[in-house]
Amino acid sequence: MPDECVAALQPAPGSTILDGTFGGGGHSSLLAMRVAPGGRVIGLDRDEGAVERSQTVIDRLAVEHPQAAAAMTVYCASYHQIDRALAAEELTGVDGILLDLGLSSDQLADRTRGFSFSVDAPLDLRFDTSSGEPASRLLVRLSEKEIADVIYQYGEERFSRRIARRIVERRRERQFIETTTELANLVRRCVPRSRNHDIDPATRTFQALRIAVNDELGILEKTLRQATNWLNPGGRIAVISFHSLEDRIVKNQFRDAPQLEVITRKPLRPSDAEVHANPRARSAKLRIAEKLRVAEKP
């Protein structure tokens, strides 16, 4: 939803926008063209690979839009660490914050971390491989009940108990799950395939483990609680979520924050044309809020 995101944040020359999920740099590039000259786009990403690739994005942008390229800076950090980026840039606030909570194409194409189970890869699922534990280790450490709870709560998988039981049975046989293929095949044997065949039976389990490994919902909640501290008065925050758990958190946090005015009573959805061109966009929901220019809501 590139056009919708740009419109949501209302970037103007001289303004400062923070892209908390830099990814492939698509949103940041569009925003940089709007804030130049004189403005800044600060990108953050937990994924070291995304940060390393950001220079290529900036160099490509510099060919046609040198002022926009000069406006971009990218840091390796999670979006709940926005205060660190602000300190590094000697800023007290920004005019806009964008969070695109979906996986980037580069992450899905990475064969070393298992974000896509269409290829055999280590069952890692971490955005930042320098910290935390991979999903394969999580499945060794957690009890059967804890595994079932993770898969049910974060993946909304009805067959979570069956999946957890089978994982633990394999564990007792010293057959630890180390790869995406091993887990995907196990889940497929536990979950009846839906009639429409649109979604692989393993999708919800992989989603759940990825959320758990990266503490995605906890970090999202923490970030949204602090968002008003980082926004200048009149500044906006826009969040694209991809499943109901994320969207519920965004909706509730926007509603309950006394210094935010909700711009989107109902989330914006991608156009039919975008969904046709990029089927992964079909579940995207964009919510927008603006920091009030006065202390509290009337």
Binding-site annotation: residue ranges for S-adenosyl-L-methionine: 25-27, 45, 79, 100, 107
Of 265, 258, 248, 250, the residue nearest 291 (C-alpha): 258
Residue 54: phi and psi, rounded to 5, are -60, -30
Q: Tally Cβ neighbours within 10 Å of residue 152.
A: 18
Distance CA 118, CA 184 (A): 9
The DSSP code for 66 is: H
CA nearest to 261, candidates 223, 216, 231: 231
At 290, is the secondary structure helix, strand, or coil?
Answer: strand
Residue ranges in the chain assigned as alpha helix (H):
2-9, 26-35, 48-64, 66-70, 82-88, 105-109, 135-141, 144-155, 160-172, 180-190, 203-214, 216-230, 244-256, 272-277
* Residue written as token pair 């290529």: 56
The position carrying tokens 């999708």 is: 203
Give the span between the Cα atoms of 22 and 54, in whole angstroms: 8
The Cα 56–Cα 273 span in angstroms is: 28
- Give the span between the Cα atoms of 45 and 114, in whole angstroms: 18
Name the amino acid, one letter, at 170: R
Instruction: Report the binding-site residues.
Output: 25-27, 45, 79, 100, 107
Cis preceding linkage at 258, omega within 30? no
